[in-house]
Amino acid sequence: MAPLMAPKLGRVSTQVELAVCIIAFAALLAAPLYLNNLSTLFFILMWVGLATSFNLFAGLTGYVNFGHVVFYGVGAYTAALAMAYQHMSPFIAVPLAGLASATLALGVSVPTVRLRGAYFAIATLSINQALFLIFDNWEAVGSAPGFTLPISYYQPVTEYYVMLTVAAATIAAFYAVSHSKLGVALKAIKQQEDTALSVGVNSTLYKVITLVLSGFFAGMVGGTAIWQITIIDPPSAFDITFTVNSIAMTMLGGVGTFAGPILGSVILYEVIDFLSINYPLFHLIVLGAVIVVVVLGIPDGIVGFLKRQIPHVRSAMQKSKTK
């Protein structure tokens, strides 16, 4: 499979990416030793997980899931209910959250995955609204006021490590999918779905598998996030800005790339956090502007922009050598 995927620069840049990942992971692993407040890192990792799980489906298939937050929300609700009412260990509640969202993704895929282009986006957006309304009126899960987790679950360092694990697993899953036969199928579907079908690619199956994976990881992110946030209600669990943030972060970094959503979340998290605290709602204008500027200026994001510079840098280096 490897020779099919690897472009000419692939080997070098993959090694660099891997080295950067290992160093970053080691630094994050040691963070509790040198940081008193892990909350910022926790939420950066949450966005890395959300944006990467968004990218897993949207970036690889080319279909924009405007309802990505429902996987986060249902995961968060599942874990919160399991912990608050069933007194379940978070170590069971978080994987359970992933499974709940994966099941939801499977359900969502039945009516939506055959839709093309904008129809898919609109259908997923309406699923977001539908789930918000269901949870807002569902007495058994606390309806509109929501509920809170008992204080006994407060374990900031453990929460941090679980989020780190979930984010790393999401990144690993993205890498594995994009370097597998499934990844080849998705690449073909993204570029020309009718042709993919005509050469034997079962596009529906591959899209369903990918949406389920995307849902599974976003659900675990939600389950872990709510453990730290402790308060859950429908407006925060099904907040469309979560989807918008994921889109903006992924696009800024580079849609469909491995490093894109990671870079995008690290960069945008601070900006969004600062703006939404100091200028509430103004951050949405900034996000909109980011999306517009990225689409017009660097449609392949920071990663794509950098990759395009590599040949220029190489030729410049060769020129200086010959001189």
Partner 1 sequence: MRENLEKNALLEIEGLTKRFSGLVALSDVNLQVFKGEMLGLIGPNGSGKTTLFNVISGSLHPNGGRITFNGHNITGLPSYKVCKLGVARTFQIPQPFPDMPVIENIRVARLFGRSKNARSDLDDPENVCKLVGLDAKRDVVARSLTVSDKKRLEVGRALATSPTLLLFDEFAAGLTAQESKWATEFVKTLRDSYGITIIWTEHVMRVIMSTVDRVAVLDHGVKIAEGTPQEIVKSEHVLAVYFGRNKS
Q: Kindly state the number of chain residues that form the binding site for partner 1, as judged by CB under 8 A.
A: 19
Binding of residue 280 to partner 1 (CB under 8 A): no
Shortest distance, position 114 Cβ to partner 1, whole Å: 11
Shortest distance, position 188 Cβ to partner 1, whole Å: 5
Q: Which residues pair with 231 in a beta bridge?
A: 148
For residues 249 and 265, the answer to whether their CB atoms sit within 8 Å is: yes
For residues 112 and 127, the answer to whether their CB atoms sit within 8 Å is: yes
Please say which residue, 180 or 309, places its beta carbon nearer to partner 1: 180
Among 122, 197, 291, 298, binds partner 1 (CB under 8 A): 197
For residues 270 and 318, the answer to whether their CB atoms sit within 8 Å is: no
Site stretch for partner 1 (CB under 8 A), options 10-18, 23-31, 197-205, 284-292: 197-205
Shortest distance, position 189 Cβ to partner 1, whole Å: 9
Site stretch for partner 1 (CB under 8 A), options 59-67, 199-207, 214-222, 231-239: 199-207
Q: Judging by DSSP bridges, how do beta strands 231-232 and 147-148 pair with one another?
A: antiparallel
| Exposed/middle/buried for residue 183 (C-beta within 10 Å: 0-12, 13-18, 19+) | buried
Shortest distance, position 195 Cβ to partner 1, whole Å: 5
What is the C-alpha to C-alpha distance for residues 35 and 43, in angstroms, rounded to an integer? 14
What is the C-alpha to C-alpha distance for residues 51 and 69, in angstroms, rounded to an integer? 10
Q: Which two tokens stand for residue 49?
A: 């997980």
User: Which residue in the block uniquely carries the two structure tokens 């429908």?
Assistant: 234
Among 2, 199, 281, 296, binds partner 1 (CB under 8 A): 199
For residues 77 and 219, the answer to whether their CB atoms sit within 8 Å is: no
Binding of residue 200 to partner 1 (CB under 8 A): yes
**Binding to partner 1 in span 204-243, by CB under 8 A:** 204
Shortest distance, position 149 Cβ to partner 1, whole Å: 46
Shortest distance, position 263 Cβ to partner 1, whole Å: 21
Tell me if residue 271 falls in helix, strand or coil: helix
Binding of residue 203 to partner 1 (CB under 8 A): yes
What is the C-alpha to C-alpha distance for residues 235 and 135, in angstroms, rounded to an integer? 9
Q: Per-residue x/- marks for partner 1, 3-42, CB under 8 A?
A: -x--------------------------------------
Please say which residue, 39 or 192, places its beta carbon nearer to partner 1: 192
Shortest distance, position 2 Cβ to partner 1, whole Å: 12
For residues 68 and 246, the answer to whether their CB atoms sit within 8 Å is: yes
| Exposed/middle/buried for residue 179 (C-beta within 10 Å: 0-12, 13-18, 19+) | middle
Distance spanning both ends of the chain, measured CA to CA: 41
Q: Per-residue x/- marks for partner 1, 157-196, CB under 8 A?
A: ------------------------x--xx-xx--xx-xxx
Q: Which two tokens stand for residue 56?
A: 């897993």
Among 15, 126, 129, 202, binds partner 1 (CB under 8 A): 202
Name the residues that contact partner 1, by CB under 8 A: 4, 181, 184-185, 187-188, 191-192, 194-204
